[in-house]
Amino acid sequence: MSLLHDEISQQPDVLRRLLTEEAGNIAAIAEQIRRLDVRMVLVAARGTSGHAGAYARYLWGSVNRLPVAMAAPSLYTLYERPPQLRDTLVVGISQSGKSPDIVSVLQDARQQGMPTLAITNATASPLAQTADFVIDCRAGEERAVAATKTYTAQLMAVALLSAALAGDENMRAQLERVPEAVAATLGLDEAAAQTAERYCHVQHMAMVGRGYNYASALEIALKLKELTYTSTMGYSSADFLHGPIAVVQQGYPVLLVAPAGAPYAGLADLAHDLAARGADLSIISDQPAILSCAQRPFELPVPLEEWLSPITAIVPGQLLGYRLALARGLDAEHPRGLNKVTETR
């Protein structure tokens, strides 16, 4: 197998290590944040890390009742007009911790006297050195250009912090189930290979989720762009219904991310609508009813609570990206025009 496939397969071990070795640090950080009486969170991140930020927006908003906004780093670097902050925790999420524009958001926050947190796989990076608090993703070196194990580690870090802030032991117990659930989900590799053969000549595709799994739709779309050069878009199902669904006609490929949870009923209705329009449907879910609508179902073998489902739901998308790159004879480790570390300013 390739380097990328190896890193996808390492995810259960990475998540176990994060739970074992970083949970104490995260609990201590949560205690300090509680003392600061934080009223909102500003997240600075780009690319895959930005999708971890999208997950944080839903999780910290729903469970911890914190308004979460995504920073616009250009306000800091290009326009030099950063917003004025008050009672705000500023979080930088980056696997490398090297991008100057993300670092600049935390630097300005510290100048304004705001607390700062880095979630990174590089604890000696500029981002980590700037932050008051650091969560180490403990993913080990990630050598493939496309991020996989660092993404699920970021999701786990966000989830651990949410549980610690809430002081919820039931959430903490649910997190313990995640590594084995991810290990079981790796068994969908053959389904991904079969789907890749069907999609070998596809040039356009839509990925759709909602709520916590809006992040999954965004990240799967990015993985297919990076690895297979397919023109893909990730959508919230609510936004998809407000216009983009018009592109769907006979044979148009759509991938739905629809595990059990609050958005499920609406996504099930959408699946039936898409099937009636003749869409070529792939569906990632733990629910047999909606999977029956799909030509290419990806049945999640271990159901998790909705707030944790993005950590398993992303795995079939990672595997599909890898297998489709192989089916097209592409270099999955070194996509054209991309570097492992992108330093935007």
Task: Give residue limits of the domains in the chain.
Answer: 3-176, 185-327
d(CA 72, CA 84): 13
What pLDDT, on a 0 to 100 scale, did the predictor assign at position 144?
A: 83
What pLDDT, on a 0 to 100 scale, did the predictor assign at position 345?
A: 61
Own/partner pairs, 21-29, CB within 8 angstroms, 24+ separation? 21/138, 22/135, 22/136, 22/138, 22/157, 22/160, 23/160, 23/164, 25/135, 25/136, 26/135, 26/157, 26/160, 26/161, 26/164, 27/164, 29/117, 29/133, 29/135, 29/161, 29/164
Over the stretch 6-56, which tens digit does the pLDDT of each residue have? 999 999 999 999 999 999 999 999 999 999 989 999 999 999 999 999 999
What pLDDT, on a 0 to 100 scale, did the predictor assign at position 337?
A: 59
Q: pTM score, two decimals? A: 0.95
Decide whether 3-176 matches 185-327 in CATH topology: yes
Over the stretch 149-187, which tens digit does the pLDDT of each residue have? 999 999 999 999 999 999 999 999 999 999 999 999 999
Closest CA to 133 of 17, 36, 242: 36
Which residues in the chain come in under a pLDDT of 70?
Answer: 1, 336-345
Q: How far is CA 28 from the centre of its chain?
A: 24
What pLDDT, on a 0 to 100 scale, did the predictor assign at position 344?
A: 65
**For 3-176, which CATH class?**
alpha beta
| Planar angle of CA 89, 91, 94, nearest 5 degrees | 175
Q: Does domain 185-327 have CATH number 3.40.50.10490?
A: yes
